[in-house]
Amino acid sequence: MKVPLPLILGSNSPTRSLILSQLGIPFEKRVISIDEKAIGDRICDDPFDLVTAVAIAKANKIVEAIESKEISLPPTCSLTDGFGVCILTADQVVVCAGKILEKPESLDEAKAFASMYAISPASTHGAMVLTHLPSKLQFTATDTATIRFSESLLQEADSLVAKLGDECLSCAGGMMVENEHVSKYITSIDGDIDSVMGLSKKNVLELLSRMGDKLV
C-alpha cells in the first residue's frame, strides 16, 4: 500500500511547507504546542538524540490530539478506511563552538549567535519522524550540514539581525540561509541546503518509501 496522502505536517515552519510543496507532496498542517525545553539536556545530550526526542514528542502529541478528536483529520483521511493517515514532524538545532543553539529568544541572542558563526563553523542537526495511524508505525531519520560564514559577519552581526527582525526568532540558531541578507555571508555549505532549511528532501522521500514498504 502506498503512504496515505495528504500528509499531516506537524510544523508551522514556512520553509518546511515550501520543501514539501517543491517535492509535490500534498499536506495539511496540524500543530499542537509542546514544551520543547522540558525534553532532553542541552548541555549533555547528543544533538541528534535531542532533536529526535523532540520530533517524536511532537508526533506523539498530535497522535493524542487526533485520537481525542482535539484536532480533525484532513477531509479525505480516515482511521477506519484501511489506509489511515501519516504525520510528519521535525526538529532542528544548530551546533556552534560545541554549544547547542535553538531558536533565539531575543534579537540580542540572535546577534550573539551571528557573531559566533563568524568565528566557528555552524552545523545544523535535524531529525524528522513519520508516524502512521492507526497502526502507530513510526520511522525516524536524521541529517546534518555545516555552514561557514565570512569573518566580516563579526562586525556586521548587529546590522544583519536588524534587517532580519523578529523573523529570525522563528528558526533554529536564527539561521535563515535562504534569506538574501544572510546568504551573502555564507562562504560554503557542506551538505544539502534543504537540510539547513529544516527538512531534508532525501530523508522525506526515504521515510515515505520505508513507510510504504511496511504498509504493504
What does the DSSP assignment read for 26-39?
Answer: -EEE------GGGS
Rounded to an integer, what distance in angstroms lies between the CA atom of residue 139 and that of residue 211? 7
Tell me the HSE value of 131 on the side-chain side, using a 13 A CA sphere. Answer: 24
* pLDDT band at 180; cut points 50, 70, 90: very high
User: Which pLDDT value is given to residue 107?
Assistant: 95
* pLDDT band at 44; cut points 50, 70, 90: confident
* Mean of the per-residue pLDDT values of the chain: 94
Asked whether the predicted pLDDT for residue 1 surpasses 60, the reply is no
Q: Give the pLDDT mean for 190-209.
A: 96
| Closest by Cα among 51, 154, 44 to 99 | 44
User: Which pLDDT value is given to residue 43?
Assistant: 85
User: Which pLDDT value is given to residue 73?
Assistant: 94
pTM: 0.93
Rounded to an integer, what distance in angstroms lies between the CA atom of residue 207 and that of residue 49? 18
Percent of the chain with pLDDT over 70: 100
Please check whether residue 177 is in contact with residue 186, taking contact to mean a CB–CB distance below 8 angstroms.
Answer: yes
* pLDDT band at 37; cut points 50, 70, 90: confident
Rounded to an integer, what distance in angstroms lies between the CA atom of residue 192 and that of residue 200? 7
DSSP 97-166: TTEEE-S-SSHHHHHHHHHHHHHS-EEEEEEEEEEEETT--EEEEEEEEEEEE-TTHHHHHHHHHHHHGG
Q: Give the pLDDT mean for 144-160.
A: 95
pLDDT, tens digit (0-9, with 9 covering 90-100), for 78-130: 999 989 999 999 999 999 999 999 999 999 999 999 999 999 999 999 999 99
User: Which pLDDT value is given to residue 42?
Assistant: 85
